[in-house]
């Protein structure tokens, strides 16, 4: 592949290859001397048109740990504010010969569109409600390391599925790896069309959590609810907030995940989120750096091979 725009085009063996390489980068990142130069001589530009803490910081660290020259575009201070379009901005940067472009954008499909216009590899860091492929890959790595496998697990994805690119990418990835997926939430946030992904839908959280191996919580994405139904936080927490009592329905060794940013007391109890015996939220962040290193390493190999073939 030239780009990483979504999980959709990836085959199961390609997902496994990314996770295997990411495992090697987890080991490297834990060593006091963290040195690799697989991206030396390459330029990585990060363009975030939407807020980010984890994804932006981990892509930057990942590029630096692999020896790339990394530039973070301050989109709030860019000429986008003067009316320049996304494509004109991308073409301007393309003329500076970057090798890797990491892009987050509020509109679904914007990153795909941009990838068609530039000569470098593009990594989707989240586009609207569409996909967030590196998030699904880091979640998969966290599950595989915690459970020892990434197939035939019962996995519950809970909360605001309708507005979540994280849920979409995870549904695609975990489905490709032959897991059984349950979607839990109120019907307004879990539209019936999600059954197309082969998932079972529950609006009763306790019933949905019965005997699951993995509980993945999601944030209420009010910024994407534009005028639609917004549940009251109190009522939502009562019915769909994960606490120790509801978690007791899951397997005793079930893990609790959250992609972040989390809203304590809305979708998850703060004490449970901090419980290192159940919560793997910090591991997810650690895996994020390794997965992004693996993804950029593999795309850079393809890019170099393509350029060598062209050079003849």
Listed in order, strand segments (DSSP E) in 76-179 are: 100-105, 121-127, 154-158
Is the Cβ of residue 60 or residue 269 nearer to ligand CP in the bound state? 60
Q: Is 261 annotated as a binding residue?
A: yes
Cα–Cα distance list, 103 to 44, 93, 115, 155 (Å)? 11, 12, 10, 29
Is the Cβ of residue 56 or residue 179 nearer to ligand CP in the bound state? 56
d(CA 50, CA 40) in angstroms, rounded, equals 28
Q: Is 224 annotated as a binding residue?
A: no
Q: Is 148 annotated as a binding residue?
A: no
What is the per-residue binding string for ligand CP in 114-143, x denoting contact by CB under 6 A?
Answer: ------------x--------x--------
Query: Counting contacts by CB under 6 A, is residue 259 touching ligand CP?
Result: yes
Helix axis angle, 12-30 to 281-311, nearest 10°:
110
Query: Counting contacts by CB under 6 A, is residue 78 touching ligand CP?
Result: no
Is the Cβ of residue 295 or residue 303 nearer to ligand CP in the bound state? 295
d(CA 113, CA 5) in angstroms, rounded, equals 10
Is the Cβ of residue 187 or residue 261 nearer to ligand CP in the bound state? 261
Residue 184, beta-bridge partner list: 158, 202
In the window 24-53, what residues touch ligand CP (CB under 6 A)? Answer: 52-53
The SS3 assignment for 9 reads coil
Tell me, by CB under 6 A, how many residues bind ligand CP: 10
Is the Cβ of residue 68 or residue 287 nearer to ligand CP in the bound state? 287
CB of 257 to ligand CP, least distance (A): 11
d(CA 151, CA 68) in angstroms, rounded, equals 34
Contact stretch for ligand CP (CB under 6 A) within 9-17, 148-156, 187-195, 256-264: 256-264
d(CA 186, CA 174) in angstroms, rounded, equals 22
Q: Is 219 annotated as a binding residue?
A: yes
Q: Tokens standing for 151?
A: 């197939």
Pairing outcome for strands 180-184 and 100-105: unpaired
Q: Is 165 annotated as a binding residue?
A: yes
Report which of 206, 212, 215 is spatially closest to residue 280, judged by C-alpha positions. Answer: 215
Q: Is 76 annotated as a binding residue?
A: no
In the window 50-69, what residues touch ligand CP (CB under 6 A)? Answer: 52-56
Kindly provide the b/e burial profile for residues 33-62, where b requires at least 16 CB atoms within 10 angstroms of the residue's own CB: eeeeeebeebbbbbbbbbebebbbebbbbb
In the window 179-238, what residues touch ligand CP (CB under 6 A)? Answer: none
261, 270, 302, 304: which one binds ligand CP (CB under 6 A): 261
CB of 229 to ligand CP, least distance (A): 23
By the criterion CB under 6 A, which residues form the site for ligand CP?
52-56, 126, 135, 259-261
Could you list the residues known to form a binding site for carbamoyl phosphate, using ranges.
Answer: 54-55, 104, 132, 135, 260-261
Could you list the residues known to form a binding site, using ranges.
Answer: 54-55, 82, 104, 132, 135, 165, 219, 260-261
Could you list the residues known to form a binding site for L-aspartate, using ranges.
Answer: 82, 165, 219
């Amino acid at each position: 592949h030239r780009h990483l725009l979504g999980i959709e085009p990836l085959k199961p063996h390609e997902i496994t290859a990314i996770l295997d390489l990411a495992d090697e980068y987890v080991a490297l990142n834990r060593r006091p001397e963290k040195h690799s130069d697989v991206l030396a001589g390459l330029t990585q530009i990060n363009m975030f048109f939407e807020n980010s803490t984890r994804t932006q910081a981990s892509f930057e660290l990942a590029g630096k740990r692999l020896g790339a020259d990394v530039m973070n575009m301050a989109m709030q201070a860019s000429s986008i504010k003067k009316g320049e379009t996304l494509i004109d901005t991308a073409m301007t940067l393309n003329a500076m010969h970057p090798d890797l472009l990491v892009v987050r954008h509020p509109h679904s499909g914007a990153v795909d569109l941009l990838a068609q216009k530039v000569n470098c590899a593009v990594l989707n860091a989240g586009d609207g409600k569409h996909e967030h492929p590196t998030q699904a890959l880091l979640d998969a790595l966290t599950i595989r390391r915690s459970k020892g496998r990434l197939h035939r697990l019962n996995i519950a994805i809970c909360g605001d599925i309708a507005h979540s690119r994280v849920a979409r990418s995870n549904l695609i990835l975990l489905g490709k790896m032959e897991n059984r997926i349950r979607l839990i939430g109120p019907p307004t946030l879990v539209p019936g069309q999600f059954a197309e992904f082969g998932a079972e839908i529950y609006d009763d959280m306790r019933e949905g959590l019965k005997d699951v191996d993995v509980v993945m919580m999601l944030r209420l994405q009010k910024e994407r609810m534009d005028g639609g139904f917004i549940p009251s936080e109190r009522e939502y927490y009562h019915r769909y907030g994960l606490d120790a009592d509801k978690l007791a329905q899951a397997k005793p060794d079930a893990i609790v995940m959250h992609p972040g940013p989390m809203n304590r007391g809305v979708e998850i109890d703060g004490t449970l989120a901090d419980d290192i015996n159940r919560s793997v939220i910090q591991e997810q962040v650690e895996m994020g750096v390794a997965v992004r290193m693996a993804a950029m390493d593999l795309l850079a190999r393809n890019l170099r091979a393509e350029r060598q073939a062209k050079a003849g």
